[in-house]
Amino acid sequence: MAGEHLLPDWSAYSMTPITELTELIGHSLIVSHIAIYLAVHLDCLTAVEKVHLFLGCLLHDIGKVAFPQADLASIQSEQELSELKRHPLLGYIFLRENKILPDIAEIALYHHERYDGSGYPFGLKGNEIPLLAQICSIADAIEVMLNGRPYQSPKTIKEIAEDFRQNSGGQFHPILIRLLRLI
């Protein structure tokens, strides 16, 4: 709409409770480390791509700072959920406005896309989703399953492998899951 500012009020950053920021930073740090562990086993990325992967994973949820209390457990309505689903795009815009390289910013933009096209924000399918964003998405899922959330108990390694088996070809690229030996 003409005249309407697309960007959120980034002053929300200073209003986000420190516990939530700590949680977001902790999640992002673990996701980056898992992603690099996966990348080493993938054996097809250049050193520069691995650096981009690490930084992109560190910043993948930066768009969430626009949503104080952006924990799924506190989300009540469909409207709140669809608002929160704007975080990949908002994060991407923020990163690009701050001159972060496209390869890094695109990890934030595409980390909720799914192999079968059921993800967001664009519903990209298969190889349309950049490889680094697909690795971030897998690392993201591993962190959530390992540590659990208020709405989901932590899973064992065996249960995580079973989850990847079930979602191979759905949420995740089947070849990537096989190459990473996640099942």
Residues that bind Fe ion (CB under 5 A): 61
Q: How far is the CB of 137 from Fe ion (least distance, A)?
A: 9
Whether the Cβ atoms of residue 107 and residue 142 lie closer than 8 Å to each other:
no
Judged by beta carbon, residue 113 or residue 163, the one nearer Fe ion is 113
Q: What is the Cα gyration radius of the chain?
A: 16
Q: How far is the CB of 87 from Fe ion (least distance, A)?
A: 6
Whether the Cβ atoms of residue 167 and residue 144 lie closer than 8 Å to each other:
no
In the numeric block, the tokens 């560190």 are attached to: 58
Judged by beta carbon, residue 88 or residue 173, the one nearer Fe ion is 88
Which residue's C-beta sits nearest to Fe ion?
61
What DSSP letter does each residue of 132-156 carry, written as one string? HHHHHHHHHHHHHHHH-BTTB----
Q: How far apart are CA 93 and CA 82, in angstroms?
A: 18
Facing residues of 172 across strands?
168
Q: How far is the CB of 140 from Fe ion (least distance, A)?
A: 7
Judged by beta carbon, residue 20 or residue 179, the one nearer Fe ion is 20
Q: How far is the CB of 23 from Fe ion (least distance, A)?
A: 13
Judged by beta carbon, residue 23 or residue 162, the one nearer Fe ion is 23
In the numeric block, the tokens 């516990």 are attached to: 19
Facing residues of 168 across strands?
172
Judged by beta carbon, residue 52 or residue 64, the one nearer Fe ion is 64
Q: How far is the CB of 14 from Fe ion (least distance, A)?
A: 21
